[in-house]
Structure 1
């Protein structure tokens, strides 16, 4: 007898009928972008046709066009995924992070935490601020001061929005039981 899945699929990924033609095309294009047969996140969130299009621009901006360096954004996203135990988020972003200069060893250091050997002061500060934001729902004055030595005002605002977006997304993915896109 196998143990029950701790995160069962609660909302199954939709196909053409459930997504409608526009969201179905978006999901297919997203799958092509991640080089997978299906982009489960889009196939699940796309079932709420209008909300999907409200969420997508913010998510895309934070991931691809934000003011934070893409490497910094991936540090935050990987740390949020780790803290929330969201394998889907980690599976997606381990791959993307490699393309943004975060090799496997660096990723292990991110998962180990701010005290890991080999992290730069910037990386330690981003990880500490992410930990505080996710766990305590805020960032202490001392950590904020350190973060402000590395980030501009617009980047500080974006850090908060990025951490909040991926924390909420991790909770949504886990709660809905979004299936993994890759077998590994």
Structure 2
């Protein structure tokens, strides 16, 4: 399946979005960051997307390790090779090695997960597949997360679910050949 909206050039992105896309590519050591060169063609949307995405990915109340667990599970559930390619790399730098990542992909019943990891994975599965959390899962989640972290968990899972849908629908090409 071909790209529905091909990555944009400097002309389509404008100078600011093109510069941001170049910096993004450099930060991940890729020739191009295709998510940015596609989304960047909608200038205002892209400029509003960046701060929200940045908070969810790099700041906020959830530990970065938890963020990556959530993102990897969403990417797996949605079959988003682009998200998985990006975040398998990033997750390794945030303490989730290949063995832990394999457990994340196996799901909440995988052997060797911590209680926190198991609860987070169960919550991701319910949130993504049911668009809700059962009362039991919500209660379990609140034993591990603060109120602000629960809110952020929902925003993070929903955001990466939306990104997976955008990537799939627009057929955004991978950034790395592997």
**Shorter-chain TM-score: what band?**
over 0.9
Structure 1 unmatched ranges of 5 or more:
none
Q: Deviations over 1:125-163 (max 9, x none)?
A: 000000000000011100000000000000000000000
Of 158, 171, 175 in structure 2, the residue corresponding to residue 177 of structure 1 is: 171
Report the counterpart of residue 34 of structure 1 in structure 2.
28
Of 146, 159, 169 in structure 1, the residue corresponding to residue 153 of structure 2 is: 159
Structure 2 unmatched ranges of 5 or more:
none
- Aligned counterparts, 1:121-132, within 5 A: 121-132=115-126
Paired residue secondary structure (1:146):
helix
User: Is 1:104 aligned to residue 93 of structure 2?
Assistant: no
Deviation of 1:66 (Å):
1.4
- Aligned counterparts, 1:1-184, within 5 A: 5=1, 8-184=2-178
TM-score (norm 2): 0.99
Deviation of 1:52 (Å):
0.3
Which runs of 4 or more aligned residues in structure 1 lie more than 3 Å from their structure 2 counterparts after TM superposition?
none
TM-score (norm 1): 0.96
Deviation of 1:54 (Å):
1.1
Name the Cα RMSD after superposition.
Answer: 0.5
